Structure 1
């Protein structure tokens, strides 16, 4: 215990949040108590409260971490490909890998995020401001891809960028969840592998925003 007391606060917060993540992944957030987290991390409840105000603060920290990982995955995908269609495909595959490697973070980043939107973002608690800012950075990255596609005539000129960003996330995250949860049905009934289903679905989503033949020439003119 003496050694632990000498460790910096961030080390304790990381240990506690890692324990919480394990429990949340196994049992869900609502069924896990602060006592459970303290026990899993090897702390007393009183000591846990030295580093976190309550369970919600731990949840928000994990959401922030998930958003940062997602942002980094998307930026790597965008930087690693040339051309709008290849970048779109790169984002699809990056999100798919993100779900496979970090299923809890995937659900945290793309599920309901516990932010108080009653006031301006600058009035939120610091960690909520960070979550909001990272989320907006992700949206800007996707919006930039859409705007480039519209500018070059590869995407429909009538797209509303921000609603399309949200539809993009809803479509992709739903498909990836479906492919994970219904893989047996996809193979037995659709006679497709998970890979074939996702590739077909990614292409279907892309074609829903792609410019019609002739629109590229109109845009350039």
Structure 2
């Protein structure tokens, strides 16, 4: 997949605002949030670049400084949630953990990563033009997430950590659970969102664990990991 769209400015720098009453000091994030609101209301095709710029408190020319086109905004939304998830999987693969602990840490952290974005990416990605080369590449990269989850479940079954479930069905369910969480987790309440992410990860794990295995034991192991889960 093309390299993640370059963040062309640091917070507080870049092109000027139309209004001093800007939503934040991060114009790129504000553009994505504004686009998400308009895409939900009017669809991707129905929201113009001018309207997105106005919603973000920017001039149209200033928006082009960050994103050359509306489709580039959609690409950025997809990549901003995909790239951290792939990086998280890579870090967890290198950790000396049981498959159960690996999955628990991934599920919990991925929910929080998805919900840190200023938009519900799941719905937006579903509206993308699949004829677009970058969006096709996104779906190919997204398959890596599924393959990693399936590999963890398969390995966990072989090690008697998990029930003998259909590996692909389990992987699809796990990915759907984390992506879908971005639509209902309380983003505005950090403490609550952390609790909700933990509860979702625990619920999904409980459905996988073989008899004699407990979520409490898995959490205890997960807490011993020394790797950084931050992107």
Shorter-chain TM-score: what band?
Answer: 0.5 to 0.7
Q: Indicate the SS of the match to 1:180.
A: coil
Out of 143, 152, 159, the position equivalent to 1:152 is 159
Q: Contact 2:162–2:208 (CA<8 Å) still a contact in 1?
A: yes
Q: Does 1:102 align with 2:117?
A: yes
Q: Indicate the SS of the match to 1:209.
A: coil
Q: Indicate the SS of the match to 2:207.
A: helix
User: How much is the aligned-residue C-alpha RMSD, in angstroms?
Assistant: 4.1
TM superposition score normalised by structure 2: 0.60
TM superposition score normalised by structure 1: 0.63
Distance 1:175 1:163 in 2: 18
Distance 1:114 1:155 in 2: 35
Q: Could you tell me how far 1:179 is from its partner in structure 2?
A: 4.5
Equivalent positions of 1:127-206 (< 5 A) are 127-157=134-164, 159-174=165-180, 177-180=183-186, 198-206=197-205
Distance 1:85 1:68 in 2: 23
1:115–1:201: structure 2 CA closer, same or farther, 3 Å change rule? closer
Q: Could you tell me how far 1:115 is from its partner in structure 2?
A: 5.2
* Structure 1 unpaired stretches of 5+: 1-8, 118-123, 188-192, 215-221
1:168–1:92: structure 2 CA closer, same or farther, 3 Å change rule? same
Task: Give the equivalent residue in structure 2 for 1:121.
Answer: none
Q: Contact 2:163–2:210 (CA<8 Å) still a contact in 1?
A: yes
1:212–1:111: structure 2 CA closer, same or farther, 3 Å change rule? farther
Higher helix share: 1
Q: Does 1:74 align with 2:73?
A: no
Out of 68, 74, 96, the position equivalent to 1:51 is 68
Distance 1:161 1:149 in 2: 10
Distance 1:80 1:204 in 2: 23
Q: Indicate the SS of the match to 1:65.
A: helix
